[in-house]
C-alpha cells in the first residue's frame, strides 16, 4: 500500500519554507506522493455548491492562498528525489491542452519521471465564466483534452481533429520520461468512474463510504472491460477514516480488499505538533508496518 498527502499546497505548506520542509519530511517518512488542489480564482458570492463540505462552501476565504499546482510541485521537486508529484486535482477543461502538455511533460522530465496528473471536470461555474470557458460540455471537453495530451506526449508530428482542439503535425518536447504521464481521473460521480474506466490510468474519488467506493470501483472495472481495457491496470486511490483509528492496519487491509493501491490523507492531519513529527509518528504506526 502506498500513502499520499492531499491538499498539499494549502495552509502552511502554501508558503515557501513550509512547502520544502513538508516535502522533505514526507519523503523521509516514506510517503509516496503529495497531491495539490487547484482554483485559479476565488469568486466572491459564488452560488455553485462545493461538493466536499455540508455547507457547500470552500474552506478559507478570498485571501486564502492556493498556489498554482504545477508551479508548487516544480518547487518541491527540486528539494526531493523520490516523492511523486501529483495534482489532486487539476481542472482540465479550464486549461489549454497544448500548453498543459508542455508544462506537465517539462515537470516530468526535470523531476525524473515523478509526475501523476490527476484531473477533474470542476464544480465552480463562476470560475469557468471568469475564464471564458464554457461550463456546458466540460465533460466532453475533458475527454478530448486527455486524448490531446497523450497524442502530444506519445510522438512528434502529432495531429488531432476534434470538437474542442484541432492541430496538424505538431511536436511538443521534452517528452515525459516514460513516454507518458499517468492520468488519474478524480471525482465521485458515476460519470467520473466511467471516464476512469474508458481513459484513466487511475481513479481518485474525493469522497465516499465503503459501499459507495465499492460501487464506483465496479463501474470503473465494468466500463474498462466494455472498452476492451485491462481493468487491473487502473490504480485506485482513496481515503479511509479508520486510518486514524485504533486499528489503522485493519483500515489498510479493508482498502486493499477493494483493490485500492494508495491511501490518501489530508495534509492538515500532519500539522501537529510539527509536520516532521506527525509524519514520522504516522510512519511508525502505519507505513513501516505495511511496507
Mean pLDDT of the 173-201 span? 98
pLDDT exceeds cutoff 90 at 183: yes
With a CB cutoff of 8 Å and minimum separation 6, the contacts of 157 are 169, 170, 171
What band does 236 get if pLDDT is binned at 50, 70 and 90?
A: very high
pLDDT exceeds cutoff 90 at 206: no
What band does 10 get if pLDDT is binned at 50, 70 and 90?
A: very high
CA distance 19 to 22: 5
pLDDT tens digit sequence for 127-145? 999 999 999 999 999 999 9
Per-residue model confidence (pLDDT) at position 291: 81
pLDDT tens digit sequence for 250-282? 999 999 999 999 999 999 999 999 999 999 999
pLDDT exceeds cutoff 90 at 226: yes
Q: Kindly give the residue spans of alpha helices, DSSP state H, lying in the chain.
A: 16-29, 69-77, 97-110, 125-131, 138-154, 190-199, 210-226, 248-257, 275-282, 288-290
CA distance 236 to 232: 10
Mean pLDDT of the 67-82 span? 98
pLDDT tens digit sequence for 52-68? 999 999 999 999 999 99
What band does 27 get if pLDDT is binned at 50, 70 and 90?
A: very high
Answer for the pair 278, 27: CB distance below 8 angstroms, yes or no.
no
pLDDT tens digit sequence for 28-48? 999 999 999 999 999 999 999
Mean pLDDT of the 225-242 span? 97
Taking alpha carbons only, the member of 117, 97, 227, 94 closest to residue 162 is: 97
- Phi/psi for 215 (5° steps) reads -65, -45
Per-residue model confidence (pLDDT) at position 21: 97
Per-residue model confidence (pLDDT) at position 287: 98
pLDDT exceeds cutoff 90 at 83: yes
CATH number of the domain to which 281 belongs: 3.20.20.30
Which domain, by its residues, includes 180?
A: 2-290
Answer for the pair 53, 81: CB distance below 8 angstroms, yes or no.
no
Per-residue model confidence (pLDDT) at position 282: 98
Total structural domains in the chain? 1
CA distance 99 to 110: 17
Q: Which region holds residue 127: left if phi is over 0, alpha if psi is between -120 and 50, else beta?
A: alpha
Per-residue model confidence (pLDDT) at position 215: 98
Amino acid at each position: 500500500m502506498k500513502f499520499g498527502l492531499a491538499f498539499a499546497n494549502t495552509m502552511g505548506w502554501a508558503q515557501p519554507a513550509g512547502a520544502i520542509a513538508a516535502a522533505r519530511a514526507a519523503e523521509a517518512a516514506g510517503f509516496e506522493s503529495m497531491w495539490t488542489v487547484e482554483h485559479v480564482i476565488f469568486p466572491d458570492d459564488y452560488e455553485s455548491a462545493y461538493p466536499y463540505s455540508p455547507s457547500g462552501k470552500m474552506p478559507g476565504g478570498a485571501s486564502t492562498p492556493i498556489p498554482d499546482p504545477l508551479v508548487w510541485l516544480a518547487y518541491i521537486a527540486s528539494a526531493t528525489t523520490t516523492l511523486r508529484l501529483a495534482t489532486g486535482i487539476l481542472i482540465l477543461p479550464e486549461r489549454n491542452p497544448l500548453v498543459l502538455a508542455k508544462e506537465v511533460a517539462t515537470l516530468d522530465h526535470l523531476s525524473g519521471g515523478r509526475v501523476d496528473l490527476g484531473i477533474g471536470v470542476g464544480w465552480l461555474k463562476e470560475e469557468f465564466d471568469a475564464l471564458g470557458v464554457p461550463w456546458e460540455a466540460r465533460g466532453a471537453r475533458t475527454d478530448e483534452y486527455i486524448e490531446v495530451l497523450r497524442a502530444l506526449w506519445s510522438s512528434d508530428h502529432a495531429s488531432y481533429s476534434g470538437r474542442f482542439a484541432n492541430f496538424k503535425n505538431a511536436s511538443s518536447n521534452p517528452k515525459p520520461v516514460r513516454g507518458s504521464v499517468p492520468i488519474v481521473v478524480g471525482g465521485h460521480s458515476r460519470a467520473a468512474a466511467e471516464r476512469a474506466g474508458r481513459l484513466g490510468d487511475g481513479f481518485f474519488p474525493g469522497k465516499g463510504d465503503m459501499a459507495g467506493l465499492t460501487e464506483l470501483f465496479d463501474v470503473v472495472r465494468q466500463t474498462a472491460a466494455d472498452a476492451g481495457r485491462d481493468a487491473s491496470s487502473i490504480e485506485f486511490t482513496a481515503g479511509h477514516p479508520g486510518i486514524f483509528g485504533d486499528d489503522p492496519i485493519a483500515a489498510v487491509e479493508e482498502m486493499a480488499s477493494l483493490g485500492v493501491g494508495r491511501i490518501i490523507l489530508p495534509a492538515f492531519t500532519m500539522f501537529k505538533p510539527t509536520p516532521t513529527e506527525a509524519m514520522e509518528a504516522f510512519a511508525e504506526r502505519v507505513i513501516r508496518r505495511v511496507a
